[in-house]
Amino acid sequence: MKSLKKFLRSALGVIGALIILALVVMAIFAPQIAPFDPNAQDYNAILVEPGGEHLFGTDDLGRDIFSRIVYGAQVSIKAALVSVGIAILIGVPIGLLSGYFGGFWDEWVVMRSVDAIQAFPFLILALAISAVLGTGFGNAMIAIGIGFAPAFIRITRGQVLQLRNMEYIHAARATGVKDMRIIFSHILPNALNPIIIQSTLAMAAGILAEASLSYLGLGVQPPTASWGSMLNQAQTLMSVAPYATFYPGMAIFLVVLGFNLLGDGLQQTLDPRIRK
Amino acid sequence: MSALLEVKNLRTSFKTDNGIVAVVDGVDFAINPGETLGVVGESGCGKSVTSLSIMRLLPSNARNEGTITFQGNELLSYSEKQMQGVRGNDIAMIFQEPMTSLNPLHTVGKQIEEAILLHMKVSKQEAKQRAIGMLKAVGMPRAEEIYGEHPHQLSGGMRQRVMIAMAMACDPKLIIADEPTTALDVTIQAQILDLMRDLKDKTGTSIMLITHDLGVVAEMCDRVIVMYAGQVVEETDVMTLFENPKHPYTIGLINSIPNFEDEKEYLNTIPGSVPLPYEMPKGCRFAPRCTHVKEICNQQAPQLEEIEQQHKCRCWLYTEEDAS
């Protein structure tokens, strides 16, 4: 409760939370909000300018851009949750075990692999993995998740290194508690705060990465609306219909900003080093 | 009477950047059933490492040699799994820092219950009853409420009571208490010591009490070993220790207790500090700080010998005759 009150006092964090809330509402109630079928092509209304019946105008196939952005929110939410979920599922257990047991595996296998993965620019890595796995939303999510996992390994391991020398962990061991139980019941809950903060920040990057991969044609496949693929298709129309790139771009910008603000707000509330 | 715990020639060494360093070097002692053994010495003399060796809780760069026999079983040959059955069940530990020895996210009750559920074949309900019973036994008011509270809601003294409740939960034969009262206020210290003594009298458990506070030793212990630089330098019963200390280090420790009767401007101290484990003197380890140092002290290490009945000491002052 105290944390919640504190969070509500950080104005930017609240703005971020509101943007994310709007995104979630938009995704859930997409069929009710969207005035048109996002994939319906209307050859009588090709490249209609924004305003009037088509709020954000239409694209070169006569599809309503506003409706496509509303439905695209579903893809973005899925991208954020699935990619970060995969990263957490891979990163957190590895970080926990590696940090707790230490030794050769930790220092030379896990941490050096993490270094190797993080040495690549993230998008190039995701591109390479999706190229190997093939195109499609699921594979794009796996690629992004693998790309994010090292950050979670690092952050979790760092927490474990700090926590495993706490007296209550010694006390638990001295009570005869088994290693796995110490890791998951005593260390993990105490390590959660920075993982949660990292998750919100990674979700922003996940949406951006999905948009990038879809823009490059490796993510969501047509005709499904995704903000990235909308940008991709609209770029050829830049000179005739600049609004067709403006709205999806704006949507990406706002949501990424929202997640980042939310992450910063959470960090200020949860991080004991900043907490006063 | 056969000893409950017998430590023979224990040598605990760590692999470090300075090579292999023996922090505990040839420690012998025994604890009898129902006895309270005090382990005294200043910081860095190997008291805590000895206790962690017994529990086999040292980090992976540590190595134990010698024997640690508990109820006739050799603990150093136990597997990690077997040790998990000993820890908290046969031998329990109480730590120094009550503020950080409890997991901040689990309720007090859950932490006591954890030990019970691990080692005793009881249902969840019975474990809860036992945990509440333990809280009552350590003198907690409102035991049922405190069962559901988190550590940050309790004071330092109360948390230490919870730690004792956790340690006692499975009726261990031996409790290793590592400076259990150092972090507490003096008045709370006395309460906690009283409580430990009461519980010991009721349950007949043995206590290995690690401390640097001779006042605590006088209050609690039957027998005392004095450690210096990883070795036992004197071992005797508590009365003899205060009336007739033999080792110059023990004498120094006792002289440095503040005394209100004769007012002095300064407290007595022992000059110098414990030598680092990787630069131990060749002869007696206390020689550089000793006021009675003789030629032989710097050349040959003395052995721990029985100089009187039930009184062992590691010093050339008393064993010179044998050497010459």
Q: What is the pLDDT of residues A170-183, one digit of tens each?
A: 899 998 899 999 99
Measured between beta carbons, which residues in chain A are less than 8 angstroms from residue B160?
A: none
Write down the domain spans for chain B: 5-90+172-323, 101-167
B172-199 confidence digits (pLDDT tens): 999 999 888 888 888 888 888 999 899 8
**Using CB atoms within 10 A of its CB, is residue B294 exposed (0-12), middle (13-18) or buried (19+)?**
middle
Residue A234 belongs to some domain of the structure: yes
Determine the Cα–Cα distance for residues A144 and A78; give it in Å rounded to an integer: 12
The full DSSP string for B133-175 is HHHHHTT-TTHHHHHT--GGGS-HHHHHHHHHHHHHTT--SEE
Residue A255 belongs to some domain of the structure: yes
Minimum CA–CA partner of A103 in chain B: B60
Whether B275 shows a pLDDT value over 60: the answer reads yes
CATH of region B5-90+172-323: 3.40.50.300
Q: Which tokens belong to A132? A: 């190997």
Whether A7 shows a pLDDT value over 80: the answer reads no
Query: What number is the ipTM of this complex?
Result: 0.82
pLDDT of residue A88: 95
Measured between beta carbons, which residues in chain B are less than 8 angstroms from residue A167?
A: 95-97, 100-101
Q: Please indicate if any CB of chain B lies within 8 Å of the CB of A168.
A: yes
Measured between beta carbons, which residues in chain A are less than 8 angstroms from residue B83?
A: 176
pLDDT of residue A107: 86
Q: Name the nearest CA neighbour of A39 among A87, A75, A8.
A: A75
Q: Please indicate if any CB of chain B lies within 8 Å of the CB of A174.
A: yes
Residue A3 belongs to some domain of the structure: no
- Percent of chain A, pLDDT > 90? 21
Least confident of A185-194, A210-219, B160-169: A210-219
Higher pLDDT, A235 or B232: B232
Residue A140 belongs to some domain of the structure: yes
pLDDT of residue A276: 41
Confidence of residue A133 (pLDDT cuts 50, 70, 90): confident
| Nearest residue, CB atoms, B95 vs list A171, A189, A190 | A171
Tally of domains within chain A:
1
Interface of B with A (CB under 8 A): 55, 57, 60, 83-89, 92-93, 95-97, 100-106, 114-115, 118-119, 163, 166
B235-253 confidence digits (pLDDT tens): 999 999 888 888 989 988 8
CB atoms within 10 A of CB B134: 27
Q: Please indicate if any CB of chain B lies within 8 Å of the CB of A172.
A: yes
Please give the average per-residue pLDDT across A41-64, as a whole number: 78
Minimum CA–CA partner of A177 in chain B: B84
Measured between beta carbons, which residues in chain A are less than 8 angstroms from residue B87?
A: 173-176
The full DSSP string for B71-93 is TTEEGGG--HHHHHHHBTTTEEE
Please give the average per-residue pLDDT across A27-48, as a whole number: 80
- Percent of chain A, pLDDT > 70? 97
Residue A52 belongs to some domain of the structure: no
Please give the average per-residue pLDDT across B282-307, as a whole number: 85
Residue A196 belongs to some domain of the structure: yes
pLDDT of residue B324: 43
Q: Please indicate if any CB of chain B lies within 8 Å of the CB of A161.
A: no
Q: Tell me the pairing of strands B19-31 and B5-16.
A: antiparallel
B67-80 confidence digits (pLDDT tens): 999 998 999 999 99
pLDDT of residue A121: 86
Confidence of residue A225 (pLDDT cuts 50, 70, 90): confident
Confidence of residue A275 (pLDDT cuts 50, 70, 90): very low
pLDDT of residue A155: 94
From residue B319, give the alpha-carbon distance in Å to each of A21, B231, B312.
82, 17, 11
CATH number, residue A109: 1.10.3720.10
Q: Which domain holds residue A99?
A: 9-27+60-270
CB within 8 Å of B37: residues ≥ 6 apart:
B29, B31, B206, B207, B208, B209, B221, B222, B223, B224, B225
Inter-chain touch A167–B95, beta carbons under 8 Å: yes
- Is residue B55 within 8 Å of B85, Cβ to Cβ? no
pLDDT of residue B320: 59
- Is residue B73 within 8 Å of B126, Cβ to Cβ? no
Whether B321 shows a pLDDT value over 60: the answer reads no
Q: Tell me the pairing of strands B206-211 and B174-178.
A: parallel
Whether B92 shows a pLDDT value over 60: the answer reads yes
pLDDT of residue B93: 92
Higher pLDDT, B145 or B262: B145
Least confident of A21-25, A33-37, A172-176, B58-62: A33-37
Q: Between A and B, how many residue pairs show a Cβ–Cβ distance under 8 A?
A: 62
